[in-house]
Amino acid sequence: DAGVIQSPRHEVTEMGQEVTLRCKPISGHNSLFWYRQTMMRGLELLIYFNNNVPIDDSGMPEDRFSAKMPNASFSTLKIQPSEPRDSAVYFCASSLVGPPGGYTFGSGTRLTVV
Amino acid sequence: KQEVTQIPAALSVPEGENLVLNCSFTDSAIYNLQWFRQDPGKGLTSLLLIQSSQREQTSGRLNASLDKSSGRSTLYIAASQPGDSATYLCAVDDNDMRFGAGTRLTVKP
């Protein structure tokens, strides 16, 4: 398995533009998680899905953020409109609910909003 | 809400030393605990996963322990090497995974 695949690896965009981050989880995993990492706040859970259904989106900072999981092999995190304070590294992770558990992370998308 | 704390925030040791990183969590009702390593500008690499029913896990020079009742875990690194320099993150899974802020380890040659 190629692991959790995220794209793009780097994204530079202007304030006000729409940004879409993509994630392909590990085949067979039934949970998917979006995290944001900044120096100030560390790793923050934004939202997670179980069997493609959003379970907890309480970490989504504002209505400008939205996430979808149309099928078991694909998820998007969208920011519209983007702001400079959204600059961070966004990680996607997947796991299989039940033992043994454990999360596998993608390599992340480094977002810079100028 | 689960809170995860890691101590120390940073640690610098000479090569060859054995060291311990600490992790504590506030809610003991967890499914498992996972230790990750993160190199600068990189993603998270899983090091060890301990199920809630387990007391420890070992992989090479790494040993992680879990005391669920007291809300503590330790990561022991034996005979540290410069290549071990990274940030080590502890995460607990109680339905979703919550991370500590990490310990930044520097091993000096």
Whether residue A98 has pLDDT greater than 80: no
Q: What is the rounded CA–CA span in Å between residue A2 and residue A109?
A: 17
What pLDDT score does A106 carry?
Answer: 94
On chain A, the residues whose CB falls within 8 A of the CB of B102 are 42
Residue B77 CB contacts under 8 Å (≥ 6 apart), including other chains = B18, B19, B20, B21, B61, B62, B84, B105
Chain A interface mutation, best of B97, B98, B99, B103, highest count of A Cβ atoms under 10 Å = B97
Is the Cβ pair B34, A103 closer than 8 Å?
yes
Chain B interface mutation, best of A6, A32, A94, A103, highest count of B Cβ atoms under 10 Å = A103
What pLDDT score does B41 carry?
Answer: 84
Kindly indicate the confidence band of residue A31, based on its pLDDT and cuts at 50, 70 and 90. Answer: very high
Q: Residue written as tokens 């809610």?
A: B27
The CA-atom distances, in angstroms, between B92 and each of A8, A89, B51, B109 are 28, 21, 10, 32
What pLDDT score does B95 carry?
Answer: 77
Of B27, B30, B28, B5, the closest CA to residue B96 belongs to B30
Residue A55 CB contacts under 8 Å (≥ 6 apart), including other chains = A48, A49, B96
For B18-56, the pLDDT digits (tens) are 999 999 999 999 989 999 999 988 889 999 999 999 999
Dihedral sign for Cα atoms in the order A104, A39, A54, A108: negative
The CA-atom distances, in angstroms, between B82 and each of A26, A48, B85 are 32, 36, 6
What pLDDT score does A112 carry?
Answer: 97
Is the Cβ pair B101, A45 closer than 8 Å?
no
What pLDDT score does A22 carry?
Answer: 98
What pLDDT score does A20 carry?
Answer: 98
Kindly indicate the confidence band of residue A101, based on its pLDDT and cuts at 50, 70 and 90. Answer: confident
CB B99 within 8 A of CB A42: yes
Residue type, A50: N
Share of chain A above pLDDT 70, in %: 97
Q: Which helix (H) or strand (E) holds A47?
A: strand A42-50
What pLDDT score does A1 carry?
Answer: 65
Whether residue A62 has pLDDT greater than 90: no
For B76-99, the pLDDT digits (tens) are 999 999 999 999 999 998 877 889
